Structure 1
Amino acid sequence: MLAPRRWPWAVQVLAVYAVARLVTALVLVVVSRWQEANLWTDAAPSYTAWTGRMWDASWYQQIADHGYPSELPVDADGNVQQNVWAFYPLFPFLVRAVQQVTGLGWDVVAPTVALLCGAGAMLVIYRLVERAGHLAVERRPGLPLATVALVSAFPSSVVLQVAYTEALALLLVAGALYLLWARRYEWAGLVILLLGFTRAVALPLAVVVAWHAVVRYREWRRERGTAAPSAPVAAAGGGRATGVEPSGGPPVLPRTRVPWREVARVGGLFVVAALSGLVWQVLCGIATGRTDAYLLTQGAWRGTGPVVPFLPWVDVSRALFGTVGPWVLVLVLAAVAAVGLSPVARRLGPELQAWPLAYLGYLVAVIEPWTSIVRFLLLAFPLGAVTLGWTRSRWWFWGCLAAGVAGQAWWVWSLWRLTPPSGWPP
């Protein structure tokens, strides 16, 4: 039992989240004693400095302080250099607004905003699993709170209390999925639009919206096909009413109108999701005067040349496993697909089932897989519910939780802690 059942559900969720974040804070404080002086902090930095400045957090702070440049920085040969256009604006501008209201510094405000966004995300995740995944909850009572616990303890859940955008993105993704399930399409569109200014993950939501439309169409066809006749049809020649065609065919069903209003709403949401996945790239091109500015910037951050879909995964698989690497990659992707298409995943509902499949497929298409993949996987949170939905065993749950906490210790020590002059990005 994670929390007393007499507590309101929101209190239970926040209590679980608070305990998880305290454990993570302890890990951060302990490991920070071994942090050497680096570009961003002194040796053995304070908790706020370590969570507010390390790695990409410094880039977000630069955006909050100075905004975005009107020209891409280039070297002597004209090659685009790493720059802030790779980072989306909603989180740093939100932090800046809170700073102006409170008068507090970045090191305090940025991790706190992330922490609060993470709390909001856990509340939405609980409600989403409880309602959209009610079939899974019937088989595995306690699944919503257990999912919250597992996501809160995930190895890269450390980013829910540092100056990164994952907490805000998790809140917006979970909120969009909940609103989509509730068929509140206009509000879902607003949330997805905000997501388009938070992280580059809005495009896979367009796939989820499309699948939601397919499911809704099937439901409409099923309702249409099982509707009772509005009135019996008289047989030819004035015979008694039989409810069948004169030729003895199937019952005559009432004509049901196509729900064009709902079709338009879902279609509009799909367009919003697709455009939200591209709006930042377009704005980057307009502001800098180069239509390919965003792709050039991403290429500079990769350091391996132009952005080519899918190819980096093949290259990394070969680097890790040699000539059999691509086959290993195929097996791993097939295993993930099998989990996502499993009966346990289907019981979570179409939205929760479709999101991790669409999102992970998107990652395979657009990112270079390396150490940051652990952080990216946090947004595939429905897989946590799938992991726990296989069994009611408490040993399995506590084992997964312990593995997550151990993974956090590894993640902070190996990735967040930097041993100059260089390290693997978290």
Structure 2
Amino acid sequence: MFVPSPTRSTIPTRLTRPTPPSRPARPSLPARPTHPTLLALGGYAATRLIGLAVLAIAAAATGEDGLHRLKGRWDSVWYVRIAEHGYGYEITVPNGDVHSDLAFFPLLPALERGLSTVLPMDAATAGLLVSWTAGLVAAWGIHRCGAQVFGTRAGVVLAVLWGVYPTAFVQSMAYTETLFTALAAWSLYAVLRGRWILAGALCVAAGLTRPTAAALIAALGITALAMLVRDRRLPLRTVVGVLIAPLGWLGYIVHVGVREGSPTAYFDVQAAWGNSIDGGVALAQFIVGLPWPAALGLCAALALLGLLVALCIRQRQPLPLLAYTIGVVFVSLVGAAYFGSRPRLMMPAFGLLLPPAVALARARTRTAVPVLAGLALASGAYGAFTLLGSGPP
């Protein structure tokens, strides 16, 4: 009888002990909840870095200060002034209209003031910090919404697509778009998960950020109404969430009314800026006044927008997301705002990107990645052209 044989049989056992069965499965445990999120945030961050790189190259070639264009132009200047001096500033433009800083909602300048107080930075730099951080939080929330509805891969692509939106360069500016979109995306995700009080609280904060929060408030209300019709009852948490949702938006409107002594003061301020609601008349007049090739191109763009909305409906997107998307598009089109700002105003409507996101998610990675990279370069080039130009986004 050969004795060492049992000893040999124990060798494989001893060698395999440091590698328990759980170790090969280890990546699958954290990968499912965390890896897609990291992929979405990494992809989004890559799009913004590409945009910043294109801007830096273009700024160096033209002798401009790219960083100044990000934190010290157009609306950014108004937010910084509010952060540093509070409300009460106004200017009279050449046509006699009075532009008041009361047109700007208070959350971003409040954050700029708070950060510049506790950190060694000025309010303008604090605005960039808020915007860039909020952009990542927004991409995370957008990813979660997309993953909740159409799967993890679609959620990742959706977050990256939001980063290559034509006016995505605004996401790198000290503007409110990223902050508002972050709050809106997580509010909608909370609704999709049935966490209505959290959704309402986030909606309050969104209502202190941009007037577009009216679309988010409406989406929550419409969803609750549909639940009431379907179930003939509403849980208390849903009622509470819907009731608190408009408090931020409404609170600022009331504040301006009390300050100015008129219940319509905020809307009067907006009208002085040329942002009154006209049902789309200004948009129609703008199109008619264009040369016919430009008018045809703009009509084609509006037709594409209509197609995206139709595809969102055809996808049977969840009611809160669909109502929010249509609401943001509607608010962006029926106002008399400067036309160049309308694509930016629609940027928080990330639901518009779900149809192409689902299509790209079905494609192979070797196809989707070059497409997204090309879109990032195109978006960056358009952003550099706009930022280094003369008109506001």
Which TM class, normalised by the smaller chain length? 0.7 to 0.9
- Partner Cα separation in structure 1 for residue 94 and residue 357 of structure 2: 54
Q: Is the 8 A contact 2:80 2:109 kept in 1?
A: yes
Gaps of 5+ in 1: 36-42, 221-257
2:11 is the alignment partner of 1:11: no
- Partner Cα separation in structure 1 for residue 327 and residue 70 of structure 2: 31
- Which letter does structure 2 place at the counterpart of 1:147? L
Counterparts in 2 of 1:26-425, with a 5 A limit?
26-33=53-60, 44-45=64-65, 47=67, 49-69=68-88, 80-131=97-148, 133=149, 136-137=150-151, 142-217=153-228, 220=231, 259-260=233-234, 262=235, 264-302=236-274, 307-320=277-290, 334-343=306-315, 346=316, 348-368=317-337, 370-390=339-359, 392-394=362-364, 395=367, 398-413=370-385, 415-418=386-389, 423-425=390-392
Distance 1:369 1:390, change over 3 A: farther
Q: Is the 8 A contact 2:161 2:372 kept in 1?
A: yes
C-alpha distance after superposition, 1:43-82 (max 9, x if no partner):
62252x232112211111101111101x8656899x5511
C-alpha distance after superposition, 1:353-401 (max 9, x if no partner):
2221121112222353611122222201122222122351243664355
User: Could you state the TM-score of these two structures normalised by the residue count of structure 1?
Assistant: 0.74
- Which letter does structure 1 place at the counterpart of 2:39? Q
Distance 1:167 1:76, change over 3 A: closer
Distance 1:61 1:102, change over 3 A: same
Gaps of 5+ in 2: 1-26
- Partner Cα separation in structure 2 for residue 216 and residue 424 of structure 1: 45
- Which letter does structure 2 place at the counterpart of 1:318? V
Q: Secondary structure at the match of 1:82?
A: strand
Distance 1:73 1:407, change over 3 A: closer
Distance 1:328 1:274, change over 3 A: farther
Distance 1:330 1:51, change over 3 A: closer
Distance 1:65 1:25, change over 3 A: same
- Partner Cα separation in structure 2 for residue 328 and residue 406 of structure 1: 19
Q: Is the 8 A contact 2:138 2:181 kept in 1?
A: yes
- Partner Cα separation in structure 1 for residue 253 and residue 243 of structure 2: 16
Q: By how many angstroms is 1:147 displaced?
A: 1.0
Report what 1:241 is aligned to. Answer: none
Q: Is the 8 A contact 1:32 1:50 kept in 2?
A: no
Q: By how many angstroms is 1:166 displaced?
A: 0.8
Q: By how many angstroms is 1:280 displaced?
A: 2.3
- Which letter does structure 2 place at the counterpart of 1:409? A
Q: Is the 8 A contact 1:317 1:329 kept in 2?
A: no
C-alpha distance after superposition, 1:280-338 (max 9, x if no partner):
22211211234333233223322xx965333222222322377x989879856643431
User: Could you state the TM-score of these two structures normalised by the residue count of structure 2?
Assistant: 0.80
Higher share of residues assigned helix: 2
- Partner Cα separation in structure 2 for residue 61 and residue 321 of structure 1: 38
- Partner Cα separation in structure 2 for residue 17 and residue 328 of structure 1: 28
- Partner Cα separation in structure 1 for residue 201 and residue 391 of structure 2: 35
RMSD between aligned residues: 3.1
Q: By how many angstroms is 1:207 displaced?
A: 2.5
- Which letter does structure 2 place at the counterpart of 1:425? P
Report what 1:243 is aligned to. Answer: none
Q: Secondary structure at the match of 1:341?
A: helix
Query: Is 271-280 or 169-178 further displaced after alignment?
Result: 271-280
- Partner Cα separation in structure 2 for residue 95 and residue 28 of structure 1: 24
Distance 1:8 1:287, change over 3 A: same
Q: By how many angstroms is 1:21 displaced?
A: 2.1
- Which letter does structure 2 place at the counterpart of 1:408? G
How many pairs does the alignment contain?
Answer: 357
- Partner Cα separation in structure 2 for residue 327 and residue 108 of structure 1: 39
Q: Secondary structure at the match of 2:98?
A: coil
| % identical aligned pairs | 22
Q: Which runs of 4+ in 1 moved over 6 A?
A: 324-330
- Partner Cα separation in structure 1 for residue 384 and residue 92 of structure 2: 33
C-alpha distance after superposition, 1:398-426 (max 9, x if no partner):
4355234303311321x2113xxxx3211
Distance 1:363 1:50, change over 3 A: closer
